[in-house]
Structure 1
Amino acid sequence: LQPYQSPERIAALNAKNITSFAMELIPRISRAQSMDVLSSQAAIAGYKAAIMGADLAPRFFPMLTTAAGTIRPSKVIIIGVGVAGLQAIATARRLGAVVEAYDVRSATKEQVQSLGAKFIELGITAEGTGGYARELTAEEKQQQQEALAKHIATADVLITTAAVPGRPSPKIIPESTVDGMKSGAVIIDLAAEGGGNCTLTQPGKTIVHNGVTIHAPLNVPSQVPVHASEMYAKNLLNFLTPMLKDGAYAPDFSDEVIAGALLTHEGKIMNAAIRQQVEGA
């Protein structure tokens, strides 16, 4: 339902006294993993991001030994190690690239290393709740940008995935960092739906700035429609099945998962954040 992007739709559902659920609002807890739409679709986006990077890059990803000499592997740097970032790491590694990754959540270091990538340590951590990082202070953002710029300057492909539903994507890559990248480098901004992680990003467009290609795709899972639909359907089935008792629709609105996803019910907008956005109160 995209509640954060479509307040008019939510208001209309509420006005017609419709009970609605937003799959995006399902709590990110162990019991709800099989229902987690954000994770299933993010996995597709991460996979496609690596493929897009390989397609747009003017270089091979793997090391090749040929009669014309040895070709060094490309370096791929991934910013944001959530589901999309992890899948991007795994896919870029399968394609033969040398991969480095960064996340403000230090707990992701082990996950990065388990996939054969190097974790970039900047000394800045921002552990948050619900699987997301907390917002950095202005000073921390400045430190992060300056430290990351040195690493990004060496990248052939940069994939950014830092996004939080309902909020603008954090600006991690300023124009000065892009200016420091090598000619022919590629940025795949998976956070384009929220405005992008790069200040130069134009959502839905591909531009070239000082020899650096900045690709900002929208609705990436739609590029893998068969498996995206299969995974989404399975998420829906796993979400709806507990609500069916002896073939009848009987949801337990006190259940943590059902209550968390409940958007409108009996003429009320149940999610506090969405209610404030729609009603301003």
Structure 2
Amino acid sequence: MSVRIAVVKESTAGEKRVSATPETVKKFAGLGAEVAVESGAGSSASISDQAYADAGAKLGDRASVLKDADIILGVQGPDPDSLKGAKKGAWIVAGLNPFGERARVDAYAAAGFEALAMELMPRITRAQSMDILSSQSNLSGYKAVLDAASEYGRAFPMMMTAAGTVSAARVFIMGVGVAGLQAIATARRLGAQVSATDVRSATKEQIQSLGAKPIFVENVAGIEGEGSGGYATEMSPEYQKAQAELVSAHIAKQDIVITTALIPGRPAPRLISDAQIASMRPGSVIVDLAVEQGGNVEGAKAGEVVEIHGVKIVGHRNVPSRLAADTSALFSRNLFNFLSAFWDKDGGLPQLDDEIGGAIRLTQNGKVVNPRLLS
């Protein structure tokens, strides 16, 4: 008997992505799976129902798609009430925001679902192709620069004209993870003068390799900022003070600042204060990619572009969804790479190993089992 996979239409407001594309539907079919897609699931990502049908998927309403499904795929976790009719023991594989949506996790457990949070995928070599945070952050960094350019009332590159020279925009990237590196590369391609900083000293060479200027605190020994799995950790008061002084002087000279700093399971660290915003010249732009986790920038508002001291603070929600076709393609490949790596050729559910399964499994047998939610 083949594994039945359900692809549900996203119900979260503003979510345009979809968790499977015709490409991955074909790949799952190649493994022997039966794929059912809720009608209209891909419309906001520019994928028609016919394209899914041509790839071998069965189309239907939510109830028919969920019936007998072994695995339910989503971009964001589906509302537990919308899963009525799905069988106990079914897997929910999606970005589940377990720390921000704990009640939903508890509801999955009560309903007997096995919830697998893809954003908790361990950052190990063999799981790189399964990492939804990296794939989505890459395009977020790119889009952040485009959003900044759209709000900025001047040109990015230096231009030599008969009427005089237009100076290059000065762009400062704060946080050099996947999103930050892509932001550097994109701003450089647009001709900006780019600088960047991070709490992890190892990123200095990465910044330089992309042609940007690293802005780092020197003479504060023993602070690397590197946490487990390559994530940043919170810094000591000494480092924070030194960084604030260095960054304040630098921010005052910038035209555009893009902040990307996140700490998993905790509010985003505050990087830019109201006083620092006031030091920037009117018409400058700040893009806060962490606005939905509390924000890196004082005064930033999720879902809004606000103006403070003449500086525009851009706080778009769900930036990956603003490039839904491409982010859906990458997200769906992450899900396929994950499930196919553990595929049971005899037709049973994939058999997860302890390292990956233990990291991403939230619920099992009616209970919340993830150590990070139990501690």
TM range (shorter): over 0.9
Aligned with 1:224: secondary structure?
helix
Match of residue 187, structure 2, among 73, 77, 92: 92
Q: Which of 76-85 and 196-205 deviates more? A: 196-205
Q: TM-score, normalised by structure 2?
A: 0.71
The TM-score, its normalising length taken from structure 1, stands at 0.94
Q: How many residues align?
A: 276
Q: Deviations over 1:84-123 (max 9, x none)?
A: 0000000000100010000010000111111111111212
CA distance in 2 between counterparts of 1:213 and 1:112 reads 26
Aligned pairs for 1:197-236 (under 5 A) are 197-236=296-335
Deviates more, 1:100-109 or 1:173-182: 173-182
Aligned 8 A contact 1:251 1:258 in 2: no
Q: How far is the alpha carbon of 1:267 from its aligned partner?
A: 1.9
Q: Does residue 1:80 correspond to 2:175, yes or no?
A: yes
In the other structure, the counterpart of 1:10 is 105
- Equivalent residue for 2:266? 167
Task: Pick from 16, 33, 46 the counterpart of residue 141 of structure 2.
Answer: 46
| Identity among equivalent pairs (%) | 47
Distance 1:46 1:77 in 2: 13
Match in the other structure for 1:148: 247
Name the amino acid aligned to 1:138.
P
Q: Name 1:254's counterpart in structure 2.
A: 353
Matched to 2:177, the amino acid is: G
Residue 26 (structure 1) aligns with: 121
Secondary structure of the residue aligned to 1:106 is coil
Match of 2:202 among 94, 107, 111: 107
State the 1:233 CA deviation.
0.4
Q: Which of residues 269, 285, 288 in structure 2 aligns to 1:186? A: 285
CA displacement, residues 231-281 of structure 1 (integer Å, 9 cap, x when unaligned): 0000000010123221523433433122211111112222122235xxxxx
| Counterpart AA for 2:279 | G
Residues 170 and 192 of structure 2 are in contact (CA less than 8 Å); yes or no, is this contact kept in structure 1?
yes
1:141–1:172: 8 Å Cα contact kept in structure 2?
Answer: no
Counterpart-to-counterpart distance in 2, 1:235 and 1:97:
32
The equivalent residue for 1:279 is none
Aligned pair partner of 1:59 in 151, 154, 167: 154
2:228 counterpart SS class = coil
C-alpha separation in 2, matches of 1:62 and 1:236: 38
Q: Tell me what 2:44 maps to.
A: none
Task: Give how far 1:63 is off.
Answer: 0.6
Distance 1:199 1:141 in 2: 16
In structure 2, stretches of 5+ residues that fail to align are 1-95
**5+ long unaligned stretches in structure 1:** 277-281
The answer (yes or no) to whether the contact 1:145–1:174 under 8 Å persists in 2 is no
Deviation at 1:165, TM superposition (A): 2.5
Residues 74 and 98 in structure 1, CA contact (< 8 A), matched pair in contact too: yes
- Aligned equivalents of 1:178, 1:132: Cα separation in 2: 27
Mapped contact 1:35–1:238 kept (Cα < 8 A) = yes
Q: Partner amino acid for 1:84?
A: A
**Matched AA of 1:7:** R
